[in-house]
Amino acid sequence: MTQISNNPYLDVLRQTEQANAQKAEDPNNKQLDQEDFFKLLTQELSYQDPFKPVDNTQMISQMTSFSTLEGITKMTEEMESLNSVMTSGQALQVSGLVGKSVLIPSNTSHMQEGQDISGKINLPLSAGNVLLQIEGANGELLRSYNLGDQAAGNVSFSWDGQDQSGNPLPAGMYKIKATGLIEGNREELPVATFAHVDSVSLGQGMSDVVLNLQGLGGIKLNEVIEVAS
């Protein structure tokens, strides 16, 4: 235990002696520190040829190289510590997504009983006679909507979970397709759907964070388009 006196100089000496003693007692300590470097440098000077002494420039270069290496090592350790703190803080923020809905680039959605399915159609150009179709697991057409002419951009949609006759459909997987007339040709349009976040799996960094979605499995955080309530 370090003894504290009223003399700061003596306290520093005691702490240095104790640190050196602990280092000497540790058999696993194989790292060279600044003190070890100067010991080696002293040995080098003592065994050098007196008629061919080490050049001052060479000696200064060795000392500068060691100081630079030591500085880089300390900076690396500080950066790793900072990265750990940032990752922990980001993980706390990501955990706030649990229970929310996120927009993902997929036209397949999982519907819970009593819920609806919503999403967005992306129109790169203005399109006419935009059709939205809901298909079952086997590709059968269950419901269709005519959304008319739409300008370029994102077109929101919502399906109440009922078929064309107004009968409620069971919970399960459904596929949403959209087509529109662009420059006279009917083309399939990109569809993104909202999904419920059940939990979050954390990785080493933000790029490894995975959102576990209700009925759909996992998706990486960087693939999410939008977060909703």
What's the confidence (pLDDT) of residue 188?
94
Query: Does the 101-228 domain belong in CATH 2.60.40.4070?
Result: yes
**Reduced 3-state DSSP string for the chain:** CCCCCCCHHHHHHHHHHHHHHHHHHCCCCCCCCHHHHHHHHHHHHHCCCCCCCCCHHHHHHHHHHHHHHHHHHHHHHHHHHHHHHHHHHHHHHHHCCCCCEEEECCCEEEECCCCCEEEEEEECCCEEEEEEEEECCCCCEEEEEEEEEECCEEEEEEECCECCCCCECCCEEEEEEEEEEECCEEEEECEEEEEEEEEEECCCCHHHCEEEECCCEEEEHHHCCEEEC
- Domain assignments of the chain as residue spans, ordered by start: 101-228
What's the confidence (pLDDT) of residue 196?
93
What values do phi and psi take at 175, rounded to 5? -115, 135
What's the confidence (pLDDT) of residue 6?
52
Please identify every stretch of the chain with a pLDDT value under 50, giving residue numbers as ranges.
Answer: 2, 8-10, 12-13, 85
At 177-212, the pLDDT tens digits run 999 999 889 999 999 999 999 998 876 666 678 899
What's the confidence (pLDDT) of residue 9?
45
pTM of the model: 0.60
Average pLDDT, the chain: 78
